[in-house]
Structure 1
Amino acid sequence: MASWKSRTRSLQVFDTELSADTVEWCPVSSDHNILVCGTYQLQKGTGEEDAAPSRTGRLYLFQFRREGPMTPPLTELQHMDTAAILDLKWCHLQVSERPVLGLAAATGDLQLYTLKETQEGSRRLQALSSLKVGADRLVLSLDWSTGRLDSSDIRVVCSDSAGCISVASLEEGALTVQSQWKAHDFEAWIAAFSYWDTNLVYTGGDDCKLKGWDLRMSPSCPTFTSKRHSMGVCSIHSSPHREHIVATGSYDEHVLLWDGRNMRQPLSDSAMGGGVWRLKWHPTQEHLLLAACMHNDFHILHCQQALESSSETCPTVASYILHNSLAYGADWSRLCLDDPAPCSPLPSTTRPHEPKHPLPGSTGVHLRIQYESPTASFDTSLEDDMGRYIPDSIEPPTPNPAAAPEPPCPDSNAPSMSCLIASCSFYDHMLHVWRWDWTPNVDQ
C-alpha cells in the first residue's frame, strides 16, 4: 500500500461575536463559494428572578474568493440579527431559479431565505417565508429531501424541543405542514430524510432512541426503534452516494454506520472522544465522513472498509484541532482547490499548546494566515518567535510517527485530494475556514 500524507491547514478565522453553532456551504453549482454561519446566544433575564431568558442570534453570509496569498479568502457580504439559530441547511436544488436556505429558530419557526443577486453583482439573503412549528418550543434541526439533487417533490423535515417531528412541503415559496407527530420523550435533537426514499425519515432524541418513520404510514408506529446509542442521539446523515447507508452520532461519543435494511446491529462503531453533534458525508467522495465532536474537535473518518466488510471502526485520516471551544458546526465545500494553499501547515498531531518547531534562517516572505480576533493560543501556535508564520516547507516533528496507523488510500479515482471545509465553535464564537490535503507521501 502506498504511503499517504494527510494535512490540515487553516485559511481564515472569523469572530462571530455570538456563540456559533452551525455553518453550511451552498450546494447549488452557481454559488458553491457562498457560506452561511448561524449563532445562538442565551441572554439571561434581568430584574425579576423568574424572568424568562431570551435567545438571540445572527445570520452571516460570506463569499469565498481565492484572489491571492495575502488576501483574506472570506468576505462578509451580509449579516442580520435573528432569533437564535439552531440549524441551517440549504436546499440542494434551486427553487424558482434561486438557492433557498432553511433556518431552525429558537422561536419555534422554520424560516426560509432566498439568495438573490444585487445590482452590484453581489449576493444577499432575503426572507422568503416562515412556518410556525409550535409554541413554546425550539426548532432544533432541519433537513431537505433533495440530498441526491434529483427530487421534484421538495420537502423539509424538522425536529423540536417538544420531541415532535414536522414535515412540510414547499410550493411556490410557501411551506405547508404535511404531518406532525410526537416522536421522542424529550428533545428531538435531529431529523433527516433518507435521500434514496424520501418517504423514510430518521430521528434521534434525548431519550437515547434512534427511530425510523415511513411517511406513508401512521406516525404512531415507527418502522424501528434502536437503543444502540447509550445517550442522546444528536446527528444523522443519509449517504447521498450509497443507498440504505446512514451515519448517526450521539452524546455517547460514538459514530455508528448503519444499513437501513438491518437496524438491529450497526455496520461499524467508532469512538470519537467527544459528543458527535454533526455528521456530514463528503459531497463527492463516498467514503469520507466529517464529524464535529463537541469536546474533541473535528475529524474526518474513512469509511470504506466499514461499508464493504463491516469492520469494527472507521479510521480517522485527518483532524482539525484549532478551535478552543465546543465543536458544533462543520461542512464540506464543493469548490475545487487545485492550486497550492497560501497558508501554513498544522498537522493533526500538533496541539496548539505544544512548542513551535524552530525555523531555519530564511530570507523569503512568510505568508500570514488572515484572521479577525483569534485566541492567543491559536495565534502563537502558527508563528515563529519573529512573528512569522511557518511556511509550507517546514513541518513540526510528529511524536513517534512509527506508531501511527497507515491511513487507507483515497478512492481509486482520486489519487490526491484537496478539500475546503468550514467549522465553528460555540463559546469562543469562532468560524474557521480550512483545507485538508491528502496526497501521496513522496520522499523529498
Structure 2
Amino acid sequence: MTMSWRSRTRSLQVFDTELSADAVEWCPQPQWDNVLVCGTYQLKPPDEAGVGSATPSRVGRVYLFQFCQEGPLCPPLTEVQRIDTPAILDMKWCHVPVSERPLLGMATATGELQLYRLIDTQEGSCGLKVLSSLELGPDRLALSLDWSTGRGDSSGMRVVSSDSAGCVNVLSVAEAGLTALSQWKAHDFEAWISAFSYWDTQLLYSGGDDCKLKGWDLRIGPSTPTFTSKRHSMGVCSIHSNPHREHILATGSYDEQVLLWDGRSLRQPLSESALGGGVWRLKWHPTHEHLLLAACMHNDFHILHCQQALDGDGGACPVVASYILHNSLAYGADWSRLALGGPPPSSPRERAEGGGARTECGGHLRIQYESPTASFDTSLEDEAGRYIPENSAPSAAPPPTPAKGAPSISCLLATCSFYDHMLHVWRWDWSPEEAGLVGAEGGTGDQGQVGMIANKAQPGEKSATQLTQ
C-alpha cells in the first residue's frame, strides 16, 4: 500500500474588523507567541473625512488579540486592545525582544513608520504602547517594512521600508526608537515591497510597480542595484527571505506567479508556480523550510510545498492546502509558532459560501487588481482583450509522497480579507496515511477541491476606482 498525505483546513474563529483588513501578524517570540495583531485600512471619501475636507482620508485601526484554545465551545481569540491609527499598509514584529519586550513596526498611509512596545497591563493581560515614529518623507505612503532579525540576530538591528514614491528607506533601531540611515529612489512607481536577506543583512531586495525586482548591497551604497530582474511581468508586491535555507528567496507579483530564487544566480528562478491570483504576501513557515504561505488576492490563501524546488529539481511547487472561506481580496496571512496538540476540533463540513460568482480560471477574464492604497487599478487584459497572466490556476503538480515515518504537521494560521473586513483564525493538519483511505490528493479534506476556483469580488464590493472618486 502506497502512502499519501491527507490535508485538512478548519476554521476556528472569524472576527469582523469593521474596517478593511489587510495585515495580520503573530508575535514570533516564544513567551508571547499567543499574541496576534491585525491591521486595517479604510479610505474615507471627502464628505466623510471632515468638515471642509476636499481630499479623502485614510484611517486605520490595529487590533490586539490573545489566543487560548480552552475547548471546542470557547472562541480562542480574545480582543484585548484596539487603537485607532492612520491606515496601515504593513506591520511586522521584530523577531527578537528589545529591552526584553516585543516591538511591533507599522507602515502607515501618512508615510510614517511607527513602533509599538508590547507591555503588561494591570489586568494581567498585555497592551501596545507607542514607542517611536518617524516620517519617511512628504506626500507618500509607507507600503512595507521588514526587520533584519529574521534569523534571531539582534546585532545591528535595522528596519527597511518601501514607499509610494518608489523609495527604499533603511533605519536603525535602538531603545529610543528609529533613526533614518539612508533613503534612495529604487523604482519608477510604487515600491510595493522591501525585504532583508536574513543571512546577510547588508543585502536588501525591493519590488515595485515598474515590474522590477532589484537587489541592493548597503556596503557599496544604493547608487546602483546589484541586480535588476524583469522576470515578473507585472508589479512585484511580495518578497520573503527563507530563514532556514541560505540564498533562497520567494517573490510574488500581480502576474499571479510565485518565483523561488537562489540569490547567487538570479538570471533564472529556481521554480515558477501559477496561483491564479495576484500574490500580495508570502511567508515562509517559521520552522519547516519547505512550506510557503501565499495570500493571493482574488484567489484565496494557499500553502505551497517547495522542497523539490529547494533541492534544485525545478518545476512548479504543488499546493498542498487552500483556505477558501474568505469572500473578498486576500491580503494578510501569517503562521503562528504555537504548537497545536491533539486532533483538529470536530465541526460541520465547511464550504465557502456567498452569492459571488466563482469561476474556473482560464479564458478571457477581466480583473481589476486593486492595491490596498486604493490609488490605482491594473487591467489584466491586453489591447486585444486577451487575458495577460497565463496558467492562472494554482499549480496542479502532484503532492509529494511522504517518507516512511514522516511526522504529521499541525499549524495555526491567521488570514484577513479586505472589503468584507474579516479576520479568520484556522488550523491546517497534514498527515501521512495509506492511499485509498482518503481521496484527498493534497486537497483540503473538509473544504473540497484545492484552489481550482477563483474568488472574485462579491456583489456590493467597491472597486478602487469607486473608492477614490
- Structure 1 residues 218, 411: CA separation in 2 closer, same or farther (over 3 Å shift)? farther
In the alignment, what sits opposite 1:192?
A: 195
Give yes or no for contact 2:4–2:402 (8 Å, CA) kept in 1.
Answer: no
- Kindly state the Cα deviation for residue 312 of structure 1 after the two structures are TM-superposed: 1.8
3-state SS, counterpart of residue 131 of structure 2:
strand
Kindly provide the CA deviation profile for residues 330-386 of structure 1, in whole angstroms up to 9, marking residues without a partner as x: 000000001222243657xx54369xxxxxxxxxxxxxxxxxxxxxxxxxxxxxxxx
Give yes or no for contact 2:277–2:297 (8 Å, CA) kept in 1.
Answer: yes
Q: Distance in 1 between matches of 2:245 and 2:297?
A: 27
In the alignment, what sits opposite 1:339?
A: 342
In the alignment, what sits opposite 2:159?
A: 156
Percent sequence identity is 73
Q: Distance in 2 between matches of 1:135 and 1:405?
A: 47
- Structure 1 residues 429, 191: CA separation in 2 closer, same or farther (over 3 Å shift)? same
In the alignment, what sits opposite 1:143?
A: 146
Kindly provide the CA deviation profile for residues 392-428 of structure 1, in whole angstroms up to 9, marking residues without a partner as x: xxxxxxxxxxxx8652146888510100000000000
- Residue type of the partner of 1:166? N
- Kindly state the Cα deviation for residue 50 of structure 1 after the two structures are TM-superposed: 8.8
- Structure 1 residues 441, 352: CA separation in 2 closer, same or farther (over 3 Å shift)? farther
- Structure 1 residues 414, 135: CA separation in 2 closer, same or farther (over 3 Å shift)? farther
Kindly provide the CA deviation profile for residues 240-281 of structure 1, in whole angstroms up to 9, marking residues without a partner as x: 000000000000000000000111100000000000000000
- Kindly state the Cα deviation for residue 48 of structure 1 after the two structures are TM-superposed: 10
In the alignment, what sits opposite 2:430?
A: 438
In the alignment, what sits opposite 2:464?
A: none
In the alignment, what sits opposite 2:416?
A: 424
- Residue type of the partner of 1:408? P
Give yes or no for contact 1:8–1:345 (8 Å, CA) kept in 2.
Answer: no
- Kindly state the Cα deviation for residue 165 of structure 1 after the two structures are TM-superposed: 0.5
- Kindly state the Cα deviation for residue 175 of structure 1 after the two structures are TM-superposed: 0.7
In the alignment, what sits opposite 1:64?
A: 67
- Structure 1 residues 165, 413: CA separation in 2 closer, same or farther (over 3 Å shift)? farther
In the alignment, what sits opposite 1:36?
A: 37
Unaligned runs of 5+ residues in structure 2 are: 356-395, 439-469
In the alignment, what sits opposite 1:121?
A: 124
In the alignment, what sits opposite 2:210?
A: 207
Unaligned runs of 5+ residues in structure 1 are: 355-403
Kindly provide the CA deviation profile for residues 87-135 of structure 1, in whole angstroms up to 9, marking residues without a partner as x: 0100000000000000001001000000001122101000000011111
- Structure 1 residues 411, 109: CA separation in 2 closer, same or farther (over 3 Å shift)? farther
In the alignment, what sits opposite 1:27?
A: 28
Q: Distance in 2 between matches of 1:247 and 1:169?
A: 25
Q: Distance in 2 between matches of 1:81 and 1:412?
A: 51
Give yes or no for contact 1:234–1:251 (8 Å, CA) kept in 2.
Answer: yes
In the alignment, what sits opposite 2:333?
A: 330
Q: Distance in 2 between matches of 1:155 and 1:97?
A: 17
- Kindly state the Cα deviation for residue 18 of structure 1 after the two structures are TM-superposed: 0.2
- Residue type of the partner of 2:174? E
Give yes or no for contact 2:40–2:88 (8 Å, CA) kept in 1.
Answer: yes
Kindly provide the CA deviation profile for residues 283-312 of structure 1, in whole angstroms up to 9, marking residues without a partner as x: 000000000000000000000001113322
Q: Distance in 2 between matches of 1:25 and 1:87?
A: 13
- Structure 1 residues 411, 296: CA separation in 2 closer, same or farther (over 3 Å shift)? farther
1:112 aligns with one of 81, 102, 115: 115
Give yes or no for contact 2:326–2:352 (8 Å, CA) kept in 1.
Answer: no
The equivalences for 1:42-121 within 5 A come to: 42-46=43-47, 51-121=54-124
Q: Distance in 1 between matches of 2:80 and 2:403?
A: 36
In the alignment, what sits opposite 1:276?
A: 279
* 2:16 pairs with 1:15: yes
Q: Distance in 2 between matches of 1:160 and 1:31?
A: 30
